[in-house]
Amino acid sequence: MQITQSHFGGCLCEAIRFELASTPLHHIICHCQTCRKAIGATRVAWAVVHIAHFKFIDLLPVEYESSFGVFRTFCGKCGTSLTYRQAENAETIDITIASFDEPALFAPTQEIWLDDKVHWEIQNHTLAQVFKDCE
């Protein structure tokens, strides 16, 4: 995979900053119930990235095991949700697109877990539609 310029981001209070030294592999919107609760939003945009290209720059966020083997992180001071990682998948980590300094760069290409979607959330039919998890 080709390494391109770095992308930076972090939490609202700026205590936690991160660097992604490549471009994301996928950009998705997740409607699943666990993401909703974890983030406190009715849909969540995620950038799926190579874990080897991602690092927290200084302070580390708080980590929480939201399901068996699923680890989410957030800033312990301001609460911004930052990452999602599955222990069984050592290759990738997901970053909340909203926490990037330039979220506009990462337009989602698919919606997943539409089976869980809150009915009044508007479905974007220009995106690939996945009713459960991505493959």
Binding site for Zn ion (CB under 5 A): 11, 13, 15, 30, 32, 35, 75, 77-78
Q: 7 has which bridge partners? A: 20
Give me the least distance between CB of 23 and Zn ion, in Å please: 22
Q: Which is nearer to Zn ion, 23 or 96 (CB)?
A: 96
Q: 98 has which bridge partners? A: none
Q: Which is nearer to Zn ion, 4 or 89 (CB)?
A: 89
Asked if 28 and 45 touch (Cβ cutoff 8 Å), the reply is: yes
Q: Which is nearer to Zn ion, 13 or 105 (CB)?
A: 13
Q: Which is nearer to Zn ion, 20 or 30 (CB)?
A: 30
Asked if 42 and 28 touch (Cβ cutoff 8 Å), the reply is: no
Give me the least distance between CB of 135 and Zn ion, in Å please: 15
Q: What angle do CA 75, 82, 58 make, to 5 degrees?
A: 60
Give me the least distance between CB of 95 and Zn ion, in Å please: 13
Percent of the chain as helix, strand, coil, to the nearest 5: 15, 40, 50
Give me the least distance between CB of 46 and Zn ion, in Å please: 8
